[in-house]
Structure 1
Amino acid sequence: MLIVSAIVVPFAVTAKTRLMIANNEVEQERLSLLAEGLVNVMSSELTDGSRTERLLLDWTPTGCRSGEFVFDVRIQNHSGLIDLNAADTQLLSLGFASLGFDRQIAEALAKAATQFRGNANAFATQAEPPTFVGPLENKLAPFESVSELQEFSGLASTPLHDLYGVFTVNSKRGTLSLDHAPNRVRAILADRSGSGASVLVGATEAAAFTVEVTARRDTSGIAGQAGFIIERFPASAAGFRRLSRSPAAEIAEIAPISSRNCDGLFGSEAAQILRGWAS
């Protein structure tokens, strides 16, 4: 019996462990699909303009509860981000400073970014020696994605999600809307008032939004996440289109939400579906 037990027990433990892992993976997939569906709901509301004024558009977290499920929602209006192709060196420098770089490094990164994208005199840009924080070779064309910043030696270790939280290629503006700027950018602007950066006070119409939803079950440590950069697109039945997927962030613990239901956040129709799904 001891010999049989010694042979059988490890197989039983392994099988149980594999079953638990499989169940956890299924649960995470279900939560991720739910989060993606809610991103679509929020995107539709944003692009038809029906609830834009009632939503926080500066990456401030908000959320709600439906039964045992808790949802964290973050939305960023891209007019509050710094456009890599349109911003001048002063504004770019403030963006890099908001990521924790000192003034000298931030200014060097801003110069490297303008050299990378090129200017009216491409030959002069090419002739400039590469900066110690820049890429090995300048593109001499507009940034196509914020992810290209990781080609810079000074930014290679900066998390991609952090870069997307400050910069964009979708606003097409050389200005920054202070009303929609994320907290880290507002903080550096307050610290460097009078910097000469092109900052606007007051809401401006957005060309694009980042929408991110995290879903978690109270009784489980498993969470699902979905995030996309979207823009208005009237030709689509949904009224919007996805430009790209937002890089995944490390899923933080969602702050407890004891009383707020999801009607005010996702709308009554979506909230009713959530209540049925959660029951």
Structure 2
Amino acid sequence: MTEGRSEDENGNAGFSLVAVLVFMLIVSAIVVPFAVTAKTRLMMANNEIEQERLSLLAEGLANVVSSELADGSATEKLPPDFTPASCRSGEFIFDVRIQDHSGLIDLNAADARLLSLGFASLGFDRPASEELAQAAIQFRGNTNAFAAPAETVTSVGPAQNKMAPFESVSELQEFSALASTPLHDLDDVFTVFSKRGTLGLDHAPSPLRTVLAGASGSGASTTQEAGEAPAYSVEVTARRDGSGIAGQAGFIVEKFPASAAGFRRLSRTPAAEITDLAATTSSRDCDALFGTAAAQILRG
């Protein structure tokens, strides 16, 4: 009798243990995904906050560089041809690029020869570059209502010509042949702020300068001296050492004495592809790039 009762109790205890284990497995199967999801969301939120902080830092430094461009001191320490420069302050690394727009090709003022060389610097062969140049000229058209009608659209151009000046370099992406070209690459060659039909070789970006040097006998409208800059592109990337997160800020600015800062923004520039510029460019003291006051804030 006693032995039978003991066997029943042992059986009940075994069943209870199995039931508890099954219950714990069920609870774990429910709770663990929620815990993993919560941890993942927390990490993503922290990364977003870090990126936002770095972007704000980059924007502040872009304002510093823009102010230095307005008073002329930035061009003495930064090449105005998109050549990158970098500096380190503590655990932070900063990459800076500026571009004088007198070294870029104005979409509204350049002739077909200069436009075709710009498209060639993007990797298009000569026939395609010349066709794109003609398409750009047809796109901007002639605002004279009594002028001869524009030629029909080309296969590389947009579906319909605007018949008005380019307002932004981004309009080039309406061209079928340029739809997949990153906007940042187009901004490295073309502008709408130069208002000149010539290009200053001294301030042209390296890829464009190489193409122009190889086509020296093409009759393209270039000058050796760039003259006073009509506008500048300013780009700053901020990152924490050892982190894959980076913040970027980019603007097109012009001198504006009426402003307390001495400049005003004309537009934002598209974000560049994040690369390890600091590993491939000469690093210098942040005092030299941003000035002593800004460098002291960075060190703090």
Q: TM-score, normalised by structure 2?
A: 0.88
Q: Does 1:85 align with 2:108?
A: yes
Q: Where is the helix percentage greater, Structure 1 or Structure 2?
A: 2
Partner of 2:70: 47
Deviation of 1:191 (Å): 1.9
Asked if the contact 2:84–2:277 (Cα under 8 Å) also holds between the matched residues in 1, the reply is no
Partner of 2:261: 238
My pick for the range that moved more, 196-205 or 116-125, is 116-125
Q: Does 1:138 align with 2:172?
A: no
Distance 2:107 2:169 in 1: 8
Asked if the contact 1:115–1:125 (Cα under 8 Å) also holds between the matched residues in 2, the reply is no
Asked if the contact 1:146–1:169 (Cα under 8 Å) also holds between the matched residues in 2, the reply is yes
Q: Does 1:271 align with 2:285?
A: no
Q: Does 1:208 align with 2:228?
A: no
Root-mean-square deviation over aligned CA pairs: 1.6
Asked if the contact 2:93–2:278 (Cα under 8 Å) also holds between the matched residues in 1, the reply is no
Deviation of 1:54 (Å): 2.5
What is the total number of aligned residue pairs between the two structures? 276
- Mapping of residues 109-120 of structure 1, within 5 Å: 109-119=132-142
Distance 1:58 1:259 in 2: 18
Deviation of 1:202 (Å): 2.3
1:76 alignment partner, SS class: strand
Deviation of 1:159 (Å): 0.9
Deviation of 1:248 (Å): 1.4
Asked if the contact 2:119–2:132 (Cα under 8 Å) also holds between the matched residues in 1, the reply is yes
- Identity of matched residues, %: 77
Deviation of 1:124 (Å): 5.1
Runs (5+) with no aligned partner, structure 1: none
Asked if the contact 2:65–2:74 (Cα under 8 Å) also holds between the matched residues in 1, the reply is no
Q: TM-score, normalised by structure 1?
A: 0.94
- Mapping of residues 1-279 of structure 1, within 5 Å: 1-119=24-142, 126-256=149-279, 260-276=284-300
Deviation of 1:123 (Å): 5.6
1:126 alignment partner, SS class: coil
| Amino acid of the structure 1 residue aligned with 2:194 | S
Runs (5+) with no aligned partner, structure 2: 1-23
Distance 1:274 1:3 in 2: 51
Distance 2:35 2:217 in 1: 68
Deviation of 1:154 (Å): 1.5
Asked if the contact 1:176–1:198 (Cα under 8 Å) also holds between the matched residues in 2, the reply is yes
My pick for the range that moved more, 8-17 or 60-69, is 8-17
